[in-house]
């Protein structure tokens, strides 16, 4: 991934509207990574620096370049209000009218909702994993029981009968 990413950074180096960068999450960039929910490496994020989104596309040069060219464009935000439709402008005005404390409270509530959704997802995945493991064990036990019931001997006898029949024909 690193060579492709480095090539992408070189290609867009100096672009006035697109920044392609990397952060070392194990050193000086650790706090930045923690603040943006980076849990594994490599993690790709994009968008408004105050609201980075997870990149879920392909990781080859073609897919990354297409994403940069189509998604890393000026977007509706408080800094680019002229790009917003009326509904987004009204939402930005509503949030701008709130105190910092109220905004922080609502952000914390929404973040907690996201964390709860992630926790519920992980709980479901763990349940699926347990079910998978149980089914795997049952399958292995069933296959072993079938083999122990004489399947191998049946196959050997059938093959041997074929050899005997071939001898009789000669």
- pLDDT score for 52: 85
Q: Compute the C-alpha angle 138/120/123, nearest 5°.
A: 25
Q: Give the predicted TM-score (pTM) of the model.
A: 0.56
20's tokens: 């392609």
Segment 42-73, tens digit of pLDDT: 889 888 777 888 889 999 999 999 999 888 88
Higher pLDDT pick, 126 / 25: 126
Kind and range of the H or E element at 45? strand 45-46
The answer to whether residues 73 and 17 touch, using CB atoms and an 8 Å cutoff, is: yes
List Cα–Cα distances, 130 to 38, 93, 117, 118, 124, in angstroms.
Answer: 27, 48, 20, 18, 10
Higher pLDDT pick, 33 / 88: 88
Higher pLDDT pick, 91 / 50: 91
Kind and range of the H or E element at 98? none
Q: Where are the domains of the chain?
A: 1-97, 99-170
Q: How far apart (Å, rounded) are the C-alpha atoms in residues 21 and 99?
A: 33
Superfamily of domain 1-97, CATH level 4? Glutaredoxin (3.40.30.10)
């Amino acid at each position: 991934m690193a060579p492709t990413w480095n090539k992408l950074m070189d290609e867009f180096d100096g672009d006035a509207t697109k920044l392609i960068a990397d952060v070392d999450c194990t050193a000086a960039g650790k706090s930045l990574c923690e603040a943006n929910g980076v849990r594994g490496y490599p993690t790709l994020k994009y968008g408004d620096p105050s609201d980075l989104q997870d990149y879920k596309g392909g990781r080859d040069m073609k897919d990354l370049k297409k994403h940069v060219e189509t998604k890393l464009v000026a977007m509706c935000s408080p800094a680019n209000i002229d790009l917003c439709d009326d509904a987004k402008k009204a939402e930005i005005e509503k949030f701008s009218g709130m105190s910092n404390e109220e905004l922080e409270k609502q952000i914390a509530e929404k973040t907690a909702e996201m964390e709860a959704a992630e926790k519920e997802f992980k709980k479901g995945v763990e349940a699926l994993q347990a079910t998978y493991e149980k089914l795997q064990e049952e399958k292995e036990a069933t296959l072993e029981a079938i083999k122990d019931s004489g399947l191998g001997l049946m196959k050997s006898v059938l093959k041997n009968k074929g050899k005997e029949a071939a001898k009789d024909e000669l």
